[in-house]
Amino acid sequence: MPQYDLRFGIWTQVYGASGSFFHPQDPPDASWERNKRLVLQAESLGFESTLVAQHLFNPRDDERDQLETWTASTALAAVTSRIEIIAAIKPYLFHPVVLAKMASQIEEISHGRFAINLVNAWFKPELERAGIAFADHDDRYAYGREWIEVVRALFRGHRVNFAGNHFNIEDYQIRPVGRYRERPIIYAGGESEQAQALAADTADIWFINGQPPDDVRRLIGAVAARPRHETPIRFALSAFVVARETTAQAEDELRYLFSLSQQDAPLRQAMAGRTDPKAVMFKTFARNPAFGSNGGTAAGLVGSYDTVAARIRHFADLGIETFMLQFQPFEAEMARFANEVRPRVDRLTKTAA
Ligand SMILES: Cc1cc2nc3c(=O)[nH]c(=O)nc-3n(C[C@H](O)[C@H](O)[C@H](O)COP(=O)(O)O)c2cc1C
């Protein structure tokens, strides 16, 4: 596996909290003001990236607040100066020429720090209640494949003519493009066979949900072995971190978080009823019970500062370049990670070099 400089990112708090909605020190807050402060703090702590997930209403409870991804990402691009901003996109929500134009504009506002995360949807009512048919799993991926083909060509500044099953594009080009670098980076999420093929064919970086190292090794091996037209695909991992002076303290804290999350059970249950049963990602979550979204603590970043640093190094040796992290309470634990874990990872990396 080629080795890259490690990068750390944070999940912007689009739902208001990572983990439990009932943490006394971290009540849900999905407001723009909170997220602006959070990302500016992350940037000043040295985090390299932030992921802004996409849902139009809160998947656990539509009475709760939800941050809008694309408008918030645009504003984040304007108020930050160094951090990468990754906005998730579900193809059914934006026509590809609109999305390519918006992404190119954010690329310019951010001076070349923008990326998209292509996700092909599991949250049924978001589309269905809007009167947009929620296509079958594999059809969604077929749609996403045409969609990203159009977006990629427009990003590159091509004059696009495209006749597909879903899109008919004639003589379309957008300007400006490529002012700061060739084009925005393309991440892709999703674990199914279709997701893996789509990532290998069209993405720069594949996002893996938090899970144990052996599973991550297998997934990296499968995607890296697929044919590629461009530079080798790179890998990112989502994970929830619980780090303390000692492993015993971290395990106590994890137990506390799990006890809080009992109060979230009705919300989790409601969300489960809104998901596509064919989404492979949820089968992975069922195998690895965890705290936090997208695999959360199943990646095993729970323990003493040294243990967590060593586990990150191990994932890096398997080929993970970017770690997209969750914490709770977010701001305080993110600062702890930057001050305690990150220097240890840097020391391990220098020793290994
Ligand atoms: C890091 C990461 C971030 C994701 N973000 C989103 C998101 O913002 N919105 C969404 O609907 N799905 C999101 N997903 C879910 C997937 O992209 C995909 O919709 C899901 O895994 C179902 O597809 P599958 O059957 O291929 O696993 C994310 C996945 C990963 C790994």
Residue 130, token pair as written in the block: 């809007």
Please answer whether residues 59 and 48 qualify as being in contact, where contact means their C-beta atoms are separated by less than 8 angstroms: no
Taking only the tens place, the pLDDT of each residue in 145-199 is 999 999 999 999 999 999 999 999 999 999 999 999 999 999 999 999 999 999 9
Residue 1 covered by a domain: no
DSSP 170-197: EEE--SS-SSSSSS-EEEE---SHHHHH
Nearest protein CA to atom 13 of ligand 1, as residue: 119
Residue 274 covered by a domain: yes
**CA–centroid distance, residue 294 to ligand 1 (Å):** 8
Phi then psi for 7, rounded to 5 degrees?
-130, 145
Residue 289, token pair as written in the block: 């019970």
Residue 48 covered by a domain: yes
**CA–centroid distance, residue 191 to ligand 1 (Å):** 8
Please give the number of the atom of ligand 1 that sits closest to the Cα of 238.
1
Q: Which amino acid is at 274?
A: R
Average pLDDT, the chain: 96
**CA–centroid distance, residue 123 to ligand 1 (Å):** 10
DSSP classification of residue 340: I
Task: Report pTM.
Answer: 0.97
Nearest protein CA to atom 9 of ligand 1, as residue: 54
- List Cα–Cα distances, 154 to 35, 169, 173, 257, in angstroms: 30, 11, 6, 45
Q: Residue 51 forms beta bridges with which residues?
A: 11, 86
Nearest protein CA to atom 2 of ligand 1, as residue: 189
Torsion angle defined by CA atoms of residues 55, 107, 327 and 54, in that order, rounded to the nearest 10 degrees = 10
Please give the number of the atom of ligand 1 that sits closest to the Cα of 53.
8
Q: Which amino acid is at 1?
A: M
Nearest protein CA to atom 28 of ligand 1, as residue: 189
Helices 247-261, 305-318: inter-axial angle, 10-degree rounding:
80
Ligand 1 pocket test, pick from 132, 140, 235, 281 with the greatest ligand atom count within 8 Å of Cβ, gives 281
Any idea how long the chain is? 353
pLDDT class of 48 with cuts at 50, 70, 90:
very high
Please give the number of the atom of ligand 1 that sits closest to the Cα of 88.
8
d(CA 312, CA 318): 10
Taking only the tens place, the pLDDT of each residue in 297-334 is 999 999 999 999 999 999 999 999 999 999 999 999 99
Residue 217 sits in which domain range?
7-352
Mean pLDDT of all residues in 119-137: 95
| Residue linked to tokens 């992350």 | 42
- CA 314, 211, 256: angle at the middle one, nearest 5? 100
Q: Report the pocket of ligand 1 as residue ranges, CB < 6 Å.
A: 53-55, 88, 90, 117, 119-123, 137, 189-192, 195, 207, 209, 238, 279-281, 294, 324
pLDDT score of 281: 86
Is a pLDDT exceeding 60 seen at residue 1?
A: no
**CA–centroid distance, residue 107 to ligand 1 (Å):** 23
The number of domains in the chain is: 1
Please give the number of the atom of ligand 1 that sits closest to the Cα of 276.
22
d(CA 298, CA 305): 17
List all residues 6 or more positions away from 212 whose beta carbon is below 8 Å from its beta carbon. Answer: 288, 298, 299, 300
Residue 2 covered by a domain: no
Which of 280, 303, 300 lies closest to 290, judged by CA? 300
**CA–centroid distance, residue 306 to ligand 1 (Å):** 30
Chain centroid to CA 69: 12
Phi then psi for 248, rounded to 5 degrees?
-60, -40
CATH code of residue 212:
3.20.20.30
